[in-house]
Amino acid sequence: MRRFYGSVDLNSDRVGRDAGSIAEEIIQHLRLEKGAKVTVTMEIEADIPEGAKEKTIQTVNENCRVLKFKSFEFDER
């Protein structure tokens, strides 16, 4: 077995705790394998039925830039 891929939904109320558990219980073990290259990607999706407030849009966009997100956007869907 030369590759592992996993995907999991995290509860937004407990994302820090759950991500910590994943780091300890999964990522740590994979990184122990000789020569292993482990990549972790976080994907966020939010549905906002009444639309995001301008302040939220500005704050999230700026924070994404500062945190060096590869891609991010709000749309009209």
- Tens-place pLDDT, residues 1-38: 999 999 999 999 999 999 999 999 999 999 999 999 99
Nearest to 61, CA basis, from 45, 75, 47, 72: 72
Spatial separation of the C-alpha atoms in residues 59 and 62, rounded to whole Å: 5
61 and 37 inside one domain: no
- Among residues of the chain, what percentage have pLDDT more than 90? 99
Q: Band the pLDDT of 77: cuts 50, 70, 90.
A: confident
**Which residue range(s) make up the domain with 50?**
44-77
The helix/strand/coil state of 71 is coil
pLDDT at residue 57 in the model: 98
What is the chain's Cα-based Rg? 16
Is the sign of the CA dihedral 11, 59, 69, 46 positive or negative?
A: positive
In this predicted structure, the answer to whether residue 56 has a pLDDT above a threshold of 90 is: yes
pLDDT at residue 16 in the model: 96
55 and 37 inside one domain: no
39 and 9 inside one domain: yes
7 and 36 inside one domain: yes
Task: Tell me how many domains the chain contains.
Answer: 2
57 and 23 inside one domain: no
Is the sign of the CA dihedral 18, 19, 20, 21 positive or negative?
A: positive
